[in-house]
Amino acid sequence: MVSPDIQNTELLKAIEMAIPATAIEQAIANTKTEEERTRSLPAQLMVSLVIAMSLWSRDSMRDVLKNLVDGLSVAWVKVGKYWRVPCKSAITQARQRLGAKVMSQLFHQLVKPMATGETLGAFLNGLRIVVIDGSCFDVPDSEENTRVFGRPSSRPGTIAAFPKVRLVVLIEAGTHIIFDALMCGAGDAPPPVLIEWENEPER
């Protein structure tokens, strides 16, 4: 939830600074999710919508989308002069077309450890300190989610109410930045985590 003390315009400017439009275009190109024809909801706009939905989680998708088009720069949002906010079903279909690969690609393009030699608690004996953490989440009770993620074990003769997703994250201790993440079924054993330790940056 966004603090009420932070204005929407400030958040939109922060998004543009942290996530350049060129990075989104590169992620779309790398995952081949660009459109074959011009749509009212192009892939670049849908990427920005997915990002913004985490900031304005209490607002409807249509409201968030309208705010993005009104507040973001032309470089970020490329829509026609007479663009109108599509209906909810059209937005849902556009999100399905976008898929998850482009968001994963964008994350790995931009999110990196940021601690320096001056960051308190970031290095020990020249090695970067990282933390592994994880959690499990319920997902909607559907056949597709059950097939992909499975259900947790339960008492004999019973079935768990919801499929579950296990989330494992890699966190830089000095900055608390999550710079890698893995999602799998709650019943799956996460693959071993291989961490490439880095030397402490020169001061």
The H or E element spanning position 124 is strand 123-124
Phi, psi of 53 (to 5 degrees): -60, -25
pTM: 0.75
Report the alpha-carbon distance of residue 195 to residue 43 in Å, rounded: 33
Helices (H), 73-191: 88-98, 101-110, 143-149
Nearest to 77 by CA among 113, 52, 107: 52
Nearest to 103 by CA among 12, 30, 188: 30
* Per-residue model confidence (pLDDT) at position 201: 55
* Per-residue model confidence (pLDDT) at position 79: 67
Amino acid at 93: Q
Question: How many residues comprise the chain?
Answer: 203
* Per-residue model confidence (pLDDT) at position 148: 87
pLDDT tens digits, one per residue of 69-117: 777 766 666 666 667 888 889 999 998 889 889 999 999 999 999 999 8
For the segment 45-65, the average pLDDT, to the nearest whole number, is 87
pLDDT tens digits, one per residue of 2-13: 444 546 677 777
Amino acid at 24: I
Tell me, what DSSP letter sits at residue 75? T
Strand partners, 183: 167
